């Protein structure tokens, strides 16, 4: 089946929204500036004429969002994130957030830079500082997320336990697929050590050991985070990411990333390290980060997580700092994720002016 590729450009602008207009739209927030997509009607007309519905594996949709000017929004608190409160504008959804009264950060499109082509099945680039999506391809495609799962596993473990929770490595944990971390039956670790193992070298043994200690409530908590975020197309079957039934979409992964980055920023900070040494009660383990991006601080890498199984290809979630903006790149189904992420990051820096 041939791949169909459509490119749509959406322009973002500011508009004063008065209280009466907010009430007409069912908006309950205070009167003020609202950043919103003014051409949502064009999206609806275009997609209606073409008869395009939900995305499928055979339909590739690439969207570059050209921003006239978008100012920074007030920070999203965990309550806002958990509620999953979004306004739908055409195909794209943007968090309904007011413009901050703090010093403003602007984002402007550089219209001279052409769109980028990328071979991955699904991509979403977002400026988390302004809450604007900058580039999207198949952002609603449901896809196995593989070991990207472990970010959620780590967040849930922290929420239901304590960093110094002792955990003993079992034969069953060591026997799970993969040997990253070189754990030994009977070794005793603290939870925070195993979280580092899980995130830096993607240790399935560590994830399984955490699950054995915390029991079924770990998976329950992971699922409750997803439910609380209002995500209907994401599902977690188990804690390691080995199951292809652990799925999400770029759009919904963005919500998960935002939640973890704001509520558990230390988890992303862990993944920036090139290498660390952790100790069990009996031996030391040197962990060398398997994420290539951690070896290149010049990229402004703020942390992330990779994931690969046969069904998913190469996945990655990565955060970067650029001119006081936090840029999120989510890539699913790549054949060369690090090359793709670097290309997307450099394109983003050229295609938009961050100030």
How many other C-beta atoms can be found within 10 angstroms of the C-beta atom of residue 105? 18
CB-based burial label for 189 (10 Å; 0-12, 13-18, 19+): buried
The two structure tokens encoding residue 83: 């509620």
> Directed axis angle between helix 250-263 and helix 217-228, to 10°?
110
- Angstrom CA distances, 24 to 10, 20, 28, 183, 245, stand at 24, 6, 10, 59, 41
How many CB atoms within 10 Å of residue 347?
20
Rounded CA-CA distance 116/120 in Å is 12
E strands, the chain, are 4-17, 32-37, 59-67, 70-71, 86-89, 92-95, 106-109, 122-127, 132-137, 143-144, 166-168, 188-190, 247-248, 275-279, 284-288, 301-309, 313-322, 325-334, 352-354
> In tens digits, what is the pLDDT along the chain, a chain of 355 residues?
433 333 333 333 332 223 333 333 333 332 222 222 333 333 333 333 433 333 333 334 555 654 544 444 433 333 332 222 222 222 333 333 332 333 445 678 888 899 899 999 999 999 999 999 999 999 999 999 999 999 999 999 999 999 999 999 999 999 998 767 789 999 999 999 999 999 999 999 999 999 999 999 999 999 999 999 999 999 999 999 999 999 999 999 999 999 999 999 999 999 999 999 998 888 899 999 999 999 998 999 999 999 999 999 999 999 999 999 999 999 999 999 999 999 999 999 999 999 8
- For residue 151, the surrounding DSSP H or E stretch is helix 149-160
pLDDT of residue 110: 85
- Helix-strand-coil percent breakdown of the chain, rounded to 5? 35, 30, 35
Instruction: Quote the CA–CA distance of 332 and 330 in Å, as a whole number.
Output: 7
**pLDDT of 72:** 44
Structure tokens at 242: 């080995």
H or E stretch at 221: helix 217-228
Give the per-residue pLDDT at 81: 29
Kindly state the DSSP code that residue 317 receives in the 8-state scheme. Answer: E
Q: Is residue 93 within 8 Å of 299, Cβ to Cβ? A: no
> Is the pTM above the cut of 0.85?
no
Written as one string, the DSSP assignment of 25-42 is TT--SPSEEEEEETTHHH
Cross-strand pairs, 133: 126
Q: What is the largest CA-CA distance in the chain?
A: 67
Rg, the chain, Cα only: 21
CA gap 135, 104 in Å, rounded? 22
Burial of 271 (0-12, 13-18, 19+ CB in 10 A): buried
């Amino acid at each position: 089946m041939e791949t169909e590729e459509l490119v749509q450009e959406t322009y973002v602008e500011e508009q004063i929204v008065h209280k009466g207009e907010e009430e007409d739209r069912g908006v309950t927030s205070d009167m003020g500036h609202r950043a919103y997509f003014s051409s949502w009607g064009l999206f609806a007309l275009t997609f209606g004429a073409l008869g395009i519905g939900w995305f499928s594996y055979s339909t590739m949709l690439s969207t570059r969002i050209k921003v006239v000017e978008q100012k920074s929004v007030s920070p999203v608190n965990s309550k806002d994130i958990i509620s999953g409160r979004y306004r739908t504008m055409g195909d794209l959804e943007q968090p309904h957030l007011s413009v901050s009264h703090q010093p403003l950060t602007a984002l402007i499109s550089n219209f001279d830079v052409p769109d980028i082509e990328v071979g991955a099945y699904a991509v979403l680039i977002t400026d988390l500082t302004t809450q604007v999506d900058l580039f999207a391809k198949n952002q609603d495609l449901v896809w196995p997320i593989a070991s990207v799962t472990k970010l959620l596993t780590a967040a849930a473990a922290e929420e239901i336990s304590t960093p110094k929770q002792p955990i003993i490595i079992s034969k069953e944990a060591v026997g799970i697929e993969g040997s990253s971390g070189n754990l030994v039956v009977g070794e005793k670790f603290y939870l925070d050590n195993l979280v580092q193992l899980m995130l830096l070298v993607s240790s399935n043994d560590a994830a399984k050991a955490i699950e054995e200690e915390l029991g079924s409530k770990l998976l329950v908590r992971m699922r409750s985070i997803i439910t609380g975020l209002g995500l209907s197309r994401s599902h977690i079957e188990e804690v390691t990411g080995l199951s292809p039934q652990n799925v999400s979409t770029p759009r919904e992964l963005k919500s998960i990333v935002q939640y973890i980055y704001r509520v558990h920023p230390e988890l992303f900070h862990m993944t920036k390290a090139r290498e660390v040494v952790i100790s069990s009660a009996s031996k030391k383990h040197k962990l060398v980060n398997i994420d290539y991006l951690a070896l290149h601080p010049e990229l402004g890498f703020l942390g992330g997580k990779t994931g690969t199984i046969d069904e998913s290809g190469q996945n990655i979630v990565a955060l970067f700092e650029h001119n006081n903006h936090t840029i999120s790149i989510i890539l699913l189904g790549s054949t060369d994720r690090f090359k793709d992420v670097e290309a997307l990051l450099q394109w983003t820096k050229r295609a938009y002016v961050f100030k």
